[in-house]
Amino acid sequence: MKEKSQRKLYNVLSKKGIKNFVGVPDSTIKYFIDEGLNKKKILISTREEEAIGIATGMSLSGEKSLVFMQNAGFANSLSTITSLVQLYQIPIILLIGWRGFLKNDAPEHEKIGKIQPQLIKTIGLESKIVDEKNLKNTCDWALTKLNQGKSIGLIIKREFID
């Protein structure tokens, strides 16, 4: 997703009521994160499970929250997602950068990139890939689900190699 669209994604979600943006930096979503940092609305954590715990507390206080992470961190946090977020029906948006989407990505991203769609399906996490064309509709879908008390995933494909 291009810089302008990532910044727009942050601003659309913020204007539509997401108050808390917590996570572990990922270059796939670097402009999304930068937009929030510029507005002093991003909380950086050291691990994805920590970010999920913080966002859970914020959600329980009535504030809408989003956790951003790369897909390796998503895989690391499967237990936290299934045994906390899903079990107790905590409404959180998980924004997941899809490393390994490109076939010539770094070797450490290939395996998780290949199995990410199946992991998401296996744990029953409703998700959509967000891109420049569907940004507004996908944000509306995500916020509708959040307002219904559901946790969902928004996926951003990593379309570059650095």
Task: Calculate Rg over the CA atoms of the chain.
Answer: 14
pLDDT at 159 (0 to 100): 72
CA 90 to chain centre: 15
Q: Which of 114, 47, 120, 127 shows the shortest CA–CA distance to 82?
A: 120
pTM score, two decimals?
0.95
Q: Which of 20, 21, 19, 68 shows the shortest CA–CA distance to 47?
A: 68
Would you state the structure tokens that stand for residue 126, as one six-digit string? 């409703």
pLDDT at 102 (0 to 100): 65
CA 58 to chain centre: 16
pLDDT at 108 (0 to 100): 75
97 near 23, Cβ under 8 Å? no
What are the per-10-residue average pLDDT scores of the chain (162 residues)? 96 97 95 97 97 98 97 95 98 92 72 89 97 96 97 89 58
Cα gap 157→113, rounded to integer Å: 10
